[in-house]
Structure 1
C-alpha cells in the first residue's frame, strides 16, 4: 500500500504552496487516479512522494519511505514527463543500462520490449521515437524491475484512443496481479472510465477520495445510451414528450445510430419507443464517458504477436531457472530478488478481467505479464524472504545487488560522447604541438603533452575532466534513482566504478594524445624536436596522475553538485585558483628535506622490493611536490569529503 501523509510543498514567494497538507492512500490491486485541473499540484505531489522536491510530509511505500528502501527501482516504477535518457542512446541500451542499475538480468530488457510491443525498435534512437513509442519505452523502463507500485504523470497525454486503451489495459493488468497504480489526469471522464478510485484535488488540497462509481454518480452526468436505426425519429419523439411533460431532457446524437439521453432513464425512453413503434437495439444506463470502441486488430496478427511474447517469456523463465541453480544455496538473512515461476498465471487465460476492445493490439496487453508472481501466500509479485516459511531451495533469485561496473560501462559507451571527446582532444592536441614545435623553446615533456605555459591544462586533461564531469549525468534523470536523500547515486560501489572507468578512459585518452603528438612531430619535422628521454618514469607518472586527478575531480564535483557544468568548473578551478595558492605556500626552501625517504620506506616494509620501485616512489613524490599535483590532491580530498558528507546527510535526515 502507498500512503501519502501531509504532503506540503515549499511555499512560493507571496503565493501559497502548490501542494498543501495532502493525504491519501493507494491500495494494492486497484488503479487510482489523481484528478485535478492543470496547475492544481498533481505533478508536484508525485515529486514530493518520490522525494525529488523539498517540502514536508512523508510517503510510505508498503510501510517504508523511499530513502529507506535499498533498491527503489524494484519497489517503485515511475513515469514523469518525457522518456529520460540521452536522445542518442538506443532503446535497448537504455533498458539494459537500467537493468544493471536495478540489478536484474539484461534479458529482462528484451522481454519488456516484447511486452510493450516495440521489440522491432530496440536499435532505434530515443530521439527518433514518436510520442506513442516514447510512452511504451517509458512504461517498459517503469516495469523493468517488476515494481510493486507505479506512479505515472499524465501517462496518456497526447496519445490516440487506441494507445490510451492499450496503456490503461496494461495498468489494469498490473493492478490485477496485486500491484498499486497511481496516475494523474485532468480529465474527469478518463478518471471515471479507467480508475477504480479517484482522488480529487484543487489548489493542492484534497477535495474528495471516492470509488470510481461514487465519483461518476456525484461528479459526472448519468445518461441513457440508445442504439436504434431510427435515431432521428426517436430523438424527435423524446423531445416532444419532454416538452409536453415540461421536463429538462437533453438528447445528443453520438453517431448515425446512437443517442445519449440526459435527464431521463431507461424505463421512460423504452416506454416512449414502444408507444411510437420505434425499434431499439440497445438501451442502457451509463455514467461518464465509456469512450469510442477501438476496432480490434486482425486475429492472425494478434496470434503472431502473442506467440512472440510467449517465446520471450519462456526465455526469461529459462534464464531465471539457471540463476536459481546458482543462487539456491543462499544463507539465512539473505533477501532474494524477485522470483520467476513458469506456471505464472496471466490475465486473459482464466485470471483477471476480460480484455477490452483493442487489447490485442500489442503483446502483453490483456495478459498482465509479470515474471515475478507470488507463491506460498506471499504478496502478488513480491519476493519471498529466506526463512519465512519457504525453503531456501524454493527461492529463485533474479539478479542480486546493483551491478555498478556493468551499468557504468553501458552508460559510458552507449553514446558517441567518448569517441567525439577523444577525436576533439587529439585534433586540438596535435595542432598545439605543431605550433609549439614551430615556435621552439618548449621542453619536450610539455611539447608531447601539448601544454603551453599560457594554458591552465593540456587538452587531454581537459578532455578527461569533461568525461568525468559527465559521469553523473544519467542517475539524476531517473526518479527512482535520484531521491533527494540519495540511494543509488550515493552508493560507494557506483562511485568506485565511475572513478575506475574514468581513470581508464583518462589514461587511454592521454596515451592517444601523446602518441598522436609524437606521430605528428615525426611526420612534419622528421622527429627533429624529439630526443630519447633519459628518465621517462617520473614524467609518465606525472602525466598519468594529472589525467586521473582531473577525471576524478570532475566525477566528484558532478556527484556533489549534480551538474556537469559544476564538475568541469571544478577541474578548471585547480590550475586557475588553487595552484597559485599552493605555489605561495611552497615558496622557499624546505626545513625538512625528503631525501632518502624511499630507502626509509624500504626499511619499514616486511618484503624487500626491487630498486626500480625507488624510482617510482621518488617520481610520485616529485609529482605531489609540484604545485599542480598538490592542488589536485587537495581538491580531490575536499571533493571526496563533500561527497561523503552529502551521502551521510542523506542517510541521517529524517
Structure 2
C-alpha cells in the first residue's frame, strides 16, 4: 500500500506551492490514476513521494518512508520521462549496468528485455530509440528489481493505441500479482479505461478520490460531436425542439463550427438538421469531459456523498506542518565495482580515447626518435617538451574525468531525478577501476612505442636502463595520478572539462608554483633520503629497490605537485559530500 499524507511542496519565489496538503492512498492489487490538467501538480507529487523535491509531508511504502527502505530499487520502480543514460550505450548494456546498481543478477536484464519485447533490439543505442521503445525500456528499468510499487509519470503520452494497450496490459499484470501501481495522466478517458481508482488534482489540491466506475458516472457522459457551417442555427433548432418535447438536451458551442450536444443521439440530431435544412459535415458519438469537479462534487447530495464515501479510503489527515521532505540523492550501487566496470566498458568513448592515446603516443615517439638526440625515456614515453604531459597521462586523465563527468551528463544511476551519490564505496570503486585502466594504458603506450620504433628504425632491442625501477614507478605513478586527478576534479566540479583542467593544472600551474616556493627555501632534493629514514625496516632487495624508486618519484617536483593536487581534490570531494549529507 502507498500512503501519501499531507504532501506540500516548497513555494518558489512568489508562486504558490505546486502541491498543497495532498493525502490519498493507492491500494495493492489496483491501478490508481493521478489525474489533473497540465500544471495541476501531478509530477511534483510523485517527486515529493520519492524525496526528490523539497517540501513537507510523508509517504509510506508498505508502512515505511522511502529513506528507511534499505534497498529502494527493490521496493519502488520509477519511470519519470525518458530513460536517462549515455546515448551511445546499448539497451542491454544499460540494463546490465543497472542490474549491478540495483543488486540483482545480470541475467535479469535479458529476462526484462524479453518481458517488454525488446529482445531483438538489445544492441540498439539509447540515442536511436523511438518513443515506444524508449518507454518499453523505461518499464524494464522500473521492473528490474521486481519492486512492489510502480510510480509512472505520463507513461502513455505520445504512444500509439497499440503501444498504449500493451503498456497498460503489463501494468495491470503487475497489479494482479499484488503490486501497487500509480500513474499520472491528464486524460480523463485514459484514467477511466486503465485505472481501478482515480485521484483528481486541481491546482495541487485533492478534489476527488473515486473508483473508476463512479468517476466515469460523475465526470464523463456521452455526447454527440457536430460540425456544421451553421452552428448557431442548428443549436437554436435543437434547443427549441428539446423544449417543445420537454427533453433535457444541452447544446454547447465549442467555437467555430463545432457543437457538443448532451442528452441526444446522432439520429435525432440528424433528423432536426434535415428538417431545418442545415448542412452537417460531421456527426459522431463521443464521451465528453465535464471538467474538473468543484467542491460541490465532494459535498454532493446525500445519495452521491454516500456512494463516494464507500469508494474513498480512510486516510488520516495530516497537520498543516508535517515532517520536512529533504531532497535526497539516490543510493550508491549495491555492487559498485561491477557497476563501474560496466559503466566504463559500455560506451565506445573508452575505446576511442584509448586508441587515440596510443596512436598519438606512437606518432610523437617516432618524431622524437628521428633526431637521435632525445633521451630514450622521453622517446619511449612520447613526451615532447612542448606538451605539459605525455599522451598516456592525458588519456588516463580524460578517462578519469569521464568516470564522473558521464554520471552528471547522463545520470543513469539516479535516473535523472537526484544528485549523484557521494558514497565511499562508489569512490573506491571508481579510483580502483580508473587506476587499473591508467596502468594498462601506460603499459600499452610504452609497448606500442617500442615496437613501432623497432619496426621503423630496426637495430637491436632497446636496452633496459639501470634505473628502470625508478622510471617504471614514475611512469605508472604519473598515469595513475593524472587519472585520479581527472576523476576527483570532475567529481568536485561536476563536469568532464573540470576534470581535464585539474589534470593539466598540475604541470602548468602547480609545478611552477612549487618550484618557485622551494627555490627560496629548503630544497626537495633530499626528500627521498629523509623519507627513507622514516622507514628503518629492511625490505628484500627487490622491494627495497622499488621503495627507493617510489621515494625518488615523490621527491620530484611533478610528484610533489601531483600528490598535493590529489590531496586537495580528495579533501574537497569528501568535504562537499559531508556538507550535503549533513543537510539530509
TM-score normalized by the length of structure 1? 0.68
- What is the DSSP-based 3-state SS (H/G/I as helix, E as strand, rest coil) of the residue aligned with 1:490? coil
* Alpha-carbon separation, structure 1, partners of 2:529 and 2:557: 22
- What is the DSSP-based 3-state SS (H/G/I as helix, E as strand, rest coil) of the residue aligned with 2:86? coil
Confirm or deny that 1:569 pairs with 2:501: yes
Provide the residue aligned with 1:296 in structure 2. none
Change (3 A) 1:86 1:145: same
Deviation of 1:547 after TM superposition, in Å, equals: 0.9
Deviation of 1:575 after TM superposition, in Å, equals: 2.7
Confirm or deny that 1:8 pairs with 2:9: yes
Q: Is the 8 A contact 1:485 1:650 kept in 2?
A: no
Provide the residue aligned with 1:119 in structure 2. 119
Provide the residue aligned with 1:418 in structure 2. 350
* Alpha-carbon separation, structure 1, partners of 2:485 and 2:492: 11
Deviation of 1:586 after TM superposition, in Å, equals: 2.7
Deviation of 1:47 after TM superposition, in Å, equals: 3.5
Unaligned 5+ segments in structure 2 are 225-237, 253-259, 270-284, 290-332
Please list the CA deviations of residues 289-346 of structure 1 after superposition, one character each: whole Å capped at 9, or x if unmatched: 9xxxxxxxxxxxxxxxxxxxxxxxxxxxxxxxxxxxxxxxxxxxxxxxxxxxxxxxxx
Confirm or deny that 1:542 pairs with 2:474: yes
Please list the CA deviations of residues 170-200 of structure 1 after superposition, one character each: whole Å capped at 9, or x if unmatched: 2122223332222222212212322233333
Q: Is the 8 A contact 1:192 1:212 kept in 2?
A: yes
Provide the residue aligned with 2:553 in structure 1. 623
Confirm or deny that 1:70 pairs with 2:70: yes
Provide the residue aligned with 2:379 in structure 1. 447
* Alpha-carbon separation, structure 1, partners of 2:200 and 2:479: 55
Deviation of 1:41 after TM superposition, in Å, equals: 4.1
* Alpha-carbon separation, structure 2, partners of 1:481 and 1:64: 22
Provide the residue aligned with 1:35 in structure 2. 35
* Alpha-carbon separation, structure 2, partners of 1:122 and 1:555: 30
Unaligned 5+ segments in structure 1 are 225-237, 253-259, 270-284, 290-400
Query: 5 Å matches for 1:359-398?
Result: none
Provide the residue aligned with 1:582 in structure 2. 514
Provide the residue aligned with 1:143 in structure 2. 143
Q: Is the 8 A contact 2:401 2:487 kept in 1?
A: yes
* Alpha-carbon separation, structure 2, partners of 1:535 and 1:50: 58
Deviation of 1:433 after TM superposition, in Å, equals: 2.3
Change (3 A) 1:91 1:223: same
Q: Which residue of the other structure, out of 435, 443, 447, is the alignment partner of 1:511?
A: 443
Q: Is the 8 A contact 1:66 1:483 kept in 2?
A: no
Q: Is the 8 A contact 1:470 1:564 kept in 2?
A: yes
Q: Is the 8 A contact 1:150 1:180 kept in 2?
A: yes
Q: Is the 8 A contact 1:199 1:206 kept in 2?
A: yes
Deviation of 1:156 after TM superposition, in Å, equals: 0.9
Q: Is the 8 A contact 2:531 2:551 kept in 1?
A: no
- What is the DSSP-based 3-state SS (H/G/I as helix, E as strand, rest coil) of the residue aligned with 1:182? strand
Change (3 A) 1:25 1:562: farther
Count the aligned residue pairs: 500
Deviation of 1:63 after TM superposition, in Å, equals: 4.5
Confirm or deny that 1:134 pairs with 2:129: no
Provide the residue aligned with 2:321 in structure 1. none
Deviation of 1:22 after TM superposition, in Å, equals: 5.1
TM-score normalized by the length of structure 2? 0.75
Deviates more, 1:446-455 or 1:554-563: 554-563
Q: Is the 8 A contact 1:574 1:631 kept in 2?
A: yes
Q: Is the 8 A contact 1:73 1:481 kept in 2?
A: no
Q: Is the 8 A contact 2:77 2:142 kept in 1?
A: yes
Query: 5 Å matches for 1:53-202?
Result: 53=53, 59-202=59-202
Q: Is the 8 A contact 1:19 1:44 kept in 2?
A: yes
CA RMSD of aligned residues (A): 3.6
Deviation of 1:251 after TM superposition, in Å, equals: 10
